[in-house]
Structure formats: C-alpha cells, structure tokens
Amino acid sequence: MHPQRRYTLTAACPDRVGIVARVATFIADNRGWILETSHHADSDTEHYFMRIEIKADSLPFDLTEFRRRFRPIADEFAMDSRITDSAVKKRVVVLVSKQEHCLYDLLARWQSKELEIDIPCVISNHNDFRGFVEWHGIPFHHVPVTAENKSAAYAEVTRLFEEAQGDVMVLARYMQVLSPDLCARYPGRIINIHHSFLPSFVGAKPYHQAYQRGVKLIGATCHYVTAELDAGPIIEQDTVRIDHGDTVEDLVRYGKDIEKAVLARGLRYHVEDRVLLNGNRTVVFR
C-alpha cells in the first residue's frame, strides 16, 4: 500500500496575530484536508514556525498553482516558505571516506524503502567502496582530496552535486573539512554526522577525548554543516551510558551504533521537511 500523497507547507516568519487563521482559512476555502499540523513560537527571536501536511487530492489545483496562490500570503507575513510534494523524492548525494558503517546503513534503509529517497550518486575521496556502491546500481565518483588540490576537488564535488540535481548532501563519515565556499553555497542542505555529543569533543578522535576525560555518557550529533567546524545547527542527538570498564574500542563500537541511528533520523526529519532553521538552532517537528 502506497503512502497517501500529501503536500507539505513549511513557513517561518516574524510572529504576529493572525498567521494561523490566515493560512488555515486559505486551505479551508480551497477545501484542503489537513492531515498534520505543527506550530512553534520562539519568544527569544519573536519568530513563528509552522508545518502543515495537506491531502494532495483534496485541493482543486496542482503544486505549481498551490505555490502561486499561496504567494500573496507569504508576502503579507514576510514568510520564508516552501511547499513540497511527497510524490517527489528528495535526491540525496552521499559523501564517504574509509569508514563504512553509516554508508552501509543508509543504503540498506534506501534499498528497503525505509527511507523514501533517491541516491543519484556516492562521492568519496577513496576508492574503497566503489564495488559495494556500484553493486547497488548507484554511480560512484572518486574525487581525491589533498592539501594541494582542495579547491579543485570541492569544485568537482559541487559539479557532481549539481549534475545529480541533488537536494541534500550527506557526509556519512566523510573525513574532510569542506571549504567555506561550499558550505556557504548550500546552507541547510549539507548534513553531517559527528561522533560526539556536540559541543563537547569537537574535531578528531572524540571517543579518545571522552575516554581520557572519563565521561559516563557518549553520543553522536547530526547537524547542518557551516564554515565553522562542528558548529552548525543541530538536528538530532543521542547518547549511550558507559562505565569505567569500557575501553576506547568499546566506546568506538557503541558510538558507531548511535551514529547510524542519529544520522538516519536526522536525514528522515530533513527529507520530510520537519526541520526549520532558527539562526544557529533548529525547530524540529517530529
């Protein structure tokens, strides 16, 4: 049984009286059937956030006309708004280096249709996973990155992403720091999994850092990538409890399990249009 086709309206705007009434009236006047609705008012920024799912076939017009008719409301409230169609799968370009667990997990969830996405290609700075990726029928691109060729390498990553018509770039343990230009080009469209409960233990070897500090909880963080290392808006996090008997190797093993789950949840929230940016924070309508 195929899931019900729906349009998802997301919007963020300065908070004021009448936003919900105006949007709901517009939907009702066009006989739209609301399936799910979420709202949040941020008193610190005085911004309002909403996400509304509407049964697609309840409206008397298509997506293009929906967007056209909604535009005056978006302009009236100074909304940053988007309307998407669940029938159009997000195109997810995956970047990976030499650690396979997140890549394997994402491809398994894609293949089983647990994640309703398209993966037009995988990009790596190593050739290790070419056979595995191509076995799944997915194009694999090897783009080496060295200290001398970073500018050209990231230009090629950008070209491949554009050529694939990517919606979102996922760093599935891609162990390179992206250029500021690349980060700025796709704000809110590059997702990373960091093997630490950020903002603790940024950078390399966080499990070793955590072990040396004798922490009792380790975790992983799914976040959007910005030019500042490991400091972008956080989408999802999780932790696991450890004790004095655990070795660094145990921490790494526990951590890999958390990384896979947190990245998959964060990506799901993103492709279902459940994440709205709020400065360097996020509003996540689970």
pLDDT digits (tens, 9 = 90+) for 63-94: 999 999 999 999 999 999 999 999 999 999 99
- Confidence label for 43 from pLDDT (cuts 50, 70 and 90): very high
pLDDT digits (tens, 9 = 90+) for 47-65: 999 999 999 999 999 999 9
230 is catalytic: yes
Supply the pLDDT for residue 198: 63
pLDDT digits (tens, 9 = 90+) for 16-37: 999 999 999 999 999 999 999 9
- Confidence label for 214 from pLDDT (cuts 50, 70 and 90): confident
Q: Are strands 190-194 and 168-171 parallel, antiparallel or unpaired?
A: parallel
Flag whether pLDDT at 38 surpasses 60. yes
Supply the pLDDT for residue 228: 85
Q: What is the mean pLDDT of the chain?
A: 94
- Confidence label for 203 from pLDDT (cuts 50, 70 and 90): low
CB 150 within 8 A of CB 143: no
Neighbours of 204 (CB within 10 A): 9
The three-state secondary structure class of 263 is: helix
Query: What residue has token string 């999994």?
Result: 193
pLDDT digits (tens, 9 = 90+) for 115-133: 999 999 999 999 999 999 9
Question: How much is the average pLDDT of 97-110?
Answer: 97
The active-site residue, picked from 44, 230, 238, 250, is: 230
Q: Which of 15-19, 107-111, 194-198 has the lowest mean pLDDT?
A: 194-198
Q: What are the tokens at 4? A: 């019900």
Above pLDDT 70, what percent of the chain? 97
Residue-range domain boundaries for the chain: 6-85, 90-284
pTM: 0.93
The whole-angstrom separation of Cα 21 and Cα 1 is 34
| CATH number for domain 6-85, candidates 3.30.70.260, 3.40.50.300, 3.40.50.450, 3.40.50.720 | 3.30.70.260
The whole-angstrom separation of Cα 135 and Cα 238 is 32
Flag whether pLDDT at 255 surpasses 80. yes
Alpha carbon 267 to its chain centroid, in Å, reads 4
Query: What residue has token string 């989408």?
Result: 235
Flag whether pLDDT at 237 surpasses 60. yes
Strand order in the sheet with 34-42: 34-42, 47-55, 6-14, 80-85
Domain boundaries 90-284, corresponding CATH code:
3.40.50.170
Flag whether pLDDT at 155 surpasses 60. yes
- Confidence label for 211 from pLDDT (cuts 50, 70 and 90): confident
